[in-house]
Structure 1
């Protein structure tokens, strides 16, 4: 038996995964008018209900549905531990409660900030900042943020925490990343020409196809990272740690690798023409198809 609004009564009986709830049509439709629940009881759709009891069954975990009802009734955000917020977030996303989702994420971010493990700013905060004339994020925790495709040229990120931060496709020309903590950061396809990464920890970072022409990566740690097909022409890589780094197809023409550690690096098809490789240990590197014409290999170990 199906029923469609206008409902004969404003009262609604719900069975959410075996847990019974009683509420009203107004509660389910007013605070979040674009949600799945609002659509179900708006009159635009047929809703299946038990022919004897009139109960509407929804096949979801009913544990957190009381928090959903309290939000819809009074706009209340419950106080929960992080794991419970994650469970509640899944339910809120299922019911398409966009306002509730935003507030849950705010609570999660606050908890991470209190624990010292989360970002101090959101993507929106960063966008507001870059609209000002001079932007500095020195020492700021931006870990895990999605900053892809933003214009962040000339921005100072020195000493910031950018672990697992996404800069894909961003314009970062002449930005400063000196001494950042950037383990697992993502710079795929980013424009990093003339950037400064002196002493940066970029272990495990992804810089595939990034433009790093004339970038300064002296003393940077890129162990286990990926710079596949990156443009590193005339880049400064003195004393950089490049062990187990994927440099396949990278363009290192004219780059300075004096003192760089390359053990286990993949240099297949890399262009090292006119690169400075004096006294560099190239043993234990993959070098199939590597181009070394005009490279300074005086004292290099091969």
Structure 2
């Protein structure tokens, strides 16, 4: 056999599985220079192993090679295997005589004797057998471990699949819940934005209206500087074509004059100041003074012609006719005629001082600019009348009915009111300087800066029910012990200097400033909105916040929802707040911060506050009274005073955490001692359960109040 054939035989395992078994068991090589051409299998191209012959074509093949084919590779017969039989003995003898070299010890022996040689004489055969057995054992162990590992892998994959599905389901649930929360938040923000847009629109409209009607402007009238309202000229139905309107709207030119007194421009008006005042009274109130000299009237008419004030001429002529002498008889005829015809009674511009008006029915009459000065009026009925610009100075009004009257621009200086009710009146521009009120019902909107002159007024035994006192400095005459304040509103007032406010017990207070340490304060703050603590306890609590006004309820859990997306829109950027919490165990606690809440997207956003504190309200041994305990912020932890993540309810350091849906979820916790002081000699478990009664806990109610300390 050639070297090429020897090498081919050495890679025999790759060509035939049967040859592989033979080589593995016998381990031999054929020697060269042997004539084996007639002993080569035409299928595997190696010397025969267990040869069989095909009776049809006479060719010989290895028995294992025959098992791998269907048709005869030489003649192509399809019944190949049926017609095969063992080869002749002579062929087998020739194969057994082939010289082979033992693959283990390299000894040359005939192939037929190789097995006997390896079993009895080959010194390495035992080692090879052990290796083969060890190899089989290792392969078996490997297969067993592989099966175990495969099973473990399958179980692990199943477990991971279950965990993955559960995680995906939980993530989907969280995503759905978060989506719902975001949708609710977006809806609420959209509603809030709509309300803000409406409010802004209303403010713009109000501002435009204010600027167009109430904007003050400075005028240089004949060398005298006057500040007037622009609306008196712009929107004037009495004189719609007045020249002033055209000047201030840019239709006619205006000229400015310099002044060191005002930063705003000053516009020049070429007119006598006295005449201009008469024109302004006409434009604002539709009145003209009764006692004008002929020269004054002439100057007034000339100026009116210059400035396009047309209707005042007609009014002066009408007034001249009316001022003609009118007897008491004529006056009563005019009144009775108007009543019988059910027409409107017009007594405008008349000098009525010489007439007797007691017990006269002048209801709904139009009386513009008439003179009643110095008269003693008793039981006169002006109810519902238009009395713009009338002069009632130095009058005595006894049981006079002036309810629902338009008293715009009237002069009541030095007037005495007795049993005369001032209810539902338009008092814009009315003057009450040095007036006296006795046993009157007064329903008035008192406001600082309003153009009613109340200087030196006196009020005795008056009833102020329904009145509004806004931004005023209360004077002793109103606070007289004889006056009555059963209902009404005190608004934007500083009441800290008043020690006795008991007379205001039944009134409503709106944005007022109090001294909460005064005992009488407890008697007046009736409209208190806290449902968690009683009134006495609230005052003690507010004193620690340095509140100067009644706290305003911003957020309530049972009303607005127990989640951060309801809390923040109502409380963000409002200022200092006080949070009061009631747990499921009826424990009352909370916290104060002087810093405003904000909405941050990071859960780790804290705000520093050196004046923040946490509190607990405990009942005493009698279970009747409450005791207030306060725990200040630690100054080395003040940077963790409050957490302002947009998804959280009020969170104070790590000492109080209120979870979303805290009314149903038992996930809120407390733990005094991290950023805030804790009770002395308390263990860790005690500090955790001290505030709420347990930790974790549920919440029954949360209320957040705006604290005003200015």
TM-score, length of structure 2 as denominator length: 0.24
Tell me the residue number matched to 2:462.
255
Aligned pair 1:221/2:429, yes or no?
Answer: no
Q: Which residue of 2 aligns with 1:192?
A: 397
After superposition, the C-alpha distances for 1:269-291 in whole angstroms (9 at most, x for unaligned) are 5344222223433446799xx9x
In structure 1, C-alpha distance between the alignment counterparts of 2:396 and 2:494, rounded to whole Å: 27
Q: Residue 231 of structure 1 is aligned with which of 425, 431, 436?
A: 436
Provide the residue aligned with 1:174 in structure 2. 379
Give, in angstroms, the shift of residue 144 of structure 1.
2.1
Q: TM-score under structure 1 normalisation?
A: 0.51
Match of 2:416 in 1: 211
Kept in 1: contact 2:323–2:349 (CA 8 A): no
Cα distance, 1:294–1:202 mapped onto 2, change above 3 Å? farther
Which structure has the highest strand share of the two?
2
* Bigger RCO of structures 1 and 2 (CA < 8 A, at least 6 apart): 1
Identify unmatched segments of 5+ residues in structure 2.
1-293, 299-310, 513-710
Aligned equivalent of 1:128? 329
CA distance in 2, matches of 1:172, 1:208: 15
Structure 2 residue aligned with 1:276, among 481, 484, 503?
484
Question: Conserved in 1, the CA contact under 8 Å of 2:421 and 2:441?
Answer: yes
CA distance in 2 between counterparts of 1:182 and 1:91 reads 25
CA distance in 2, matches of 1:129, 1:118: 17
Aligned pairs (5 A) from 1:106-145: 111-112=314-315, 121-122=322-323, 124-125=325-326, 127-129=328-330, 139-145=344-350
Rounded to whole Å, the distance in 2 between the matches of 1:123 and 1:267 is 46
**Structure with greater helix share of residues:** 2
Label 1:176 to 1:141 Cα distance change in 2 as closer, same or farther (>3 A): same
Check 1:280–1:166 CA distance in 2 against 1; reply closer, same or farther (3 A cut): same
Cα distance in 1, alignment partners of residues 479 and 410 from structure 2: 22
In structure 1, what is the Cα distance between the partners aligned to 2:507 and 2:359? 38
Partner of 1:6: none
Provide the C-alpha distance between the structure 2 equivalents of 1:222 and 1:234, rounded to a whole number of angstroms. 20
Quote how far apart the aligned CAs of 1:180 are.
0.9
Q: How does 1:81-120 map to 2 (within 5 A)?
A: 90=295, 111-112=314-315
Structure 2 CA distance, aligned partners of 1:159 and 1:276? 30
Alpha-carbon distance in structure 2 between the residues aligned to 1:203 and 1:298: 31
Q: Which has more radius of gyration?
A: 2
Q: Which runs of 5+ in 1 are unaligned?
A: 1-88, 94-107
Q: 1:293 to 1:263 in 2, by over 3 A?
A: closer
Q: In 2, Cα distance between the equivalents of 1:262 and 1:120? A: 44
Q: Distance in 2 between matches of 1:281 and 1:224?
A: 22
On the 8 A contact 1:223/1:241 being kept in 2, the answer is: no
List per-residue Cα deviations over 1:137-180 (Å, max 9, x = no partner): 76321222222364322122211112222110012111111011
Matched, 1:154 2:154: no
**Separation of aligned partners in 2, 1:189 and 1:246:** 15
Q: Map of 1:17-36 to 2, 5 A cutoff?
A: none
State the aligned residue count.
195
- CA–CA distance in 1 between the matches of 2:423 and 2:361? 17
Task: Give me the whole-angstrom Cα distance separating, in 2, the residues matched to 1:92 and 1:218.
Answer: 37
Offset, 1:237: 1.8
C-alpha separation between the residues in 2 aligned to 1:136 and 1:300? 48
In 2: Cα distance, 1:284 partner to 1:126 partner: 52
Query: Aligned-pair distance for 1:109?
Result: 11
Q: Name the CA distance, whole Å, in 1 between partners of 2:476 and 2:505.
A: 18
Taking structure 1 as reference, are residues 194 and 136 closer, same or farther at Cα in structure 2, changes over 3 Å only? farther
| Distance (whole Å) between structure 2 residues aligned to residue 185 and residue 285 of structure 1 | 32
Deviation sequence 1:62-102 (CA, Å, 0-9, x none): xxxxxxxxxxxxxxxxxxxxxxxxxxx64999xxxxxxxxx
> For residues 466 and 502 of structure 2, what CA distance do their matches in structure 1 show?
19
> Per-residue CA shift, 1:188-211, capped at 9, x if unaligned?
011111100110111221111212
Q: Residue 124 and residue 253 in structure 1: after superposition, are their counterparts in 2 closer, same or farther (change >3 A)? A: same
